Amino acid sequence: MITQLPITVRPAQQETVTSYVRRLAALHAVPYADLWKHLSAPPRYGGTSKRRGIIVAERLAAATGRPLSQLERAMPELRDPAPDWRQLRHLPQRACPNCTARHSGGAVVRLFAHHEFVCTRHGYWIGPPLPTAPDLPPRQLARLVPELVAAQRHHTKLLRHRGWQHVFNAFEVCIAVCIDQRFYEPLEAPLRRCWQQRIDQLIPTRSWFNTSVFLAAFYPEIVNLARLFCTPDWRDIARQALSSADARQVIAAEISRVIGREPRPLLGLPRFDGHPRSGDLGSPGGCPASWRAWGRSDRGRGGRSRLSSRPRSSSCVSGVTARLGRSRRISI
């Protein structure tokens, strides 16, 4: 029988189970590994794997005194049926510290949708985390670049009107276009100077550099351009531009108008098919392989493993890193 813990701890919205259990352990001054073992059950598969146990939702509800339905609403990993994992980033990351200030016990780590880049209330940058350092605390970048908040609102509105799939793919294409233009625009071009000014504000020294913050310097223009690529007419023109010089001229002129660059031919247009690429998002219904599965019950027939076998999704940060690596003229 699971004994209820004395301190009431409320889960944050979209918080990971690992983060919640870690906060519970910190507030009750018990080792995290011991509490995890107390609330989990052995994984239900054969072999001699030494993976840690799977959290049982009913045990967690009994230990915290919170209704199971409330825990499921707050933590996607406990939901049954499972959410559409394709709509979430494969790496959990720290939440806005102001939004989660009332949640004691340590930093809240939560899951974010692909379109969530800025906390519009407090201005913290919550863009895709670095794969090598996903636990970095967010920075309040909107104080330095106020346009980030308006861009986030436009991004969210675009998602409601066009659907997350079109927006996801358009955003990836627009990252490639804007990053390439930054390196090949003339130094005296207004757009190049605007981007460089933002980079200097966000990354004052090389020791502060990371690709997620670098992406923030381009975020307003990327969102504006994504609004173009999400419309059916321009998606068709983008497909034609892969093989038609006339279509390339048309779309280059429109891109110049939207982001304010000087009209000139594009150096290249990334492949654009209007739908998320299967290699990026994996098969439907899968939870990222870096997350654990969560059991639903102590009973054998009630326990469901949600450990995914699908490949990890790519992130915007990976695309930025690849483009930076291919450029010979990197200067920040």
Residues 106-159 pLDDT 10s? 999 999 999 999 999 999 999 998 888 888 899 999 999 999 999 999 999 999
Contacts by 163-169, CB closer than 8 A, 24 or more apart: 164/87, 164/113, 164/114, 164/115, 165/275, 165/276, 166/230, 166/235, 166/274, 166/275, 167/114, 167/115, 167/226, 167/230, 168/114, 168/115, 168/276, 168/281, 169/272, 169/273, 169/274, 169/275, 169/276, 169/277
Give CA separation, 162 vs 8, 118, 325, in Å. Answer: 41, 20, 32
Contact present, 12 and 100 (Cβ < 8 Å): yes
> pLDDT tens across 72-86, in order?
999 999 998 999 999
Start-to-end Cα distance in the chain: 58
Alpha carbons 93 and 108: distance in angstroms, whole number: 8
Residue 317 structure tokens? 């940060």
Separation between Cα atoms, residue 127 and residue 216, nearest integer Å: 8
> Does the pLDDT value for residue 65 go beyond 90?
yes
User: Which residues are registered as beta bridge partners of 56?
Assistant: 295
- Tell me which of 168 and 243 has the higher pLDDT: 168
Three-state secondary-structure class, residue 15: strand
Query: What phi, psi does 281 have (nearest 5°)?
Result: -105, -15
pLDDT score at 324: 59
0.75 exceeded by pTM: yes
Within 10 A of 198 (CB to CB), how many other CB atoms are there?
21
Q: Give buried/exposed letters for 85-95 (b at 16+ CB in 10 A, else e).
A: bbbbbbbbbbb
- The 8 Å CB, 24+ separation contacts for 134-138 are 134/91, 134/92, 134/93, 135/93, 135/94, 135/109, 136/94, 136/210, 137/94, 137/97, 137/107, 138/93, 138/94, 138/95, 138/96, 138/97
Domain boundaries, the chain: 17-326
Which of the 8 DSSP states describes residue 93?
A: E
Exposure on the CB side of residue 43, measured as CA atoms within 13 A: 14
Q: Write the pLDDT tens digit of every residue in 278-323.
A: 333 333 334 433 333 333 333 333 333 332 233 344 456 666 665 5
> 104 Cβ partners below 8 Å, 6+ apart?
9, 23, 27
Name the phi and psi angles at 30, rounded to 5: -120, 150
Query: Of residues 239 and 195, which shows the higher confidence score?
Result: 195
pLDDT band at 1 (very low <50, low <70, confident <90, very high): low
163: confidence class by pLDDT, cuts 50, 70, 90: very high
Instruction: Report the percent of the chain where pLDDT is more than 90.
Output: 52
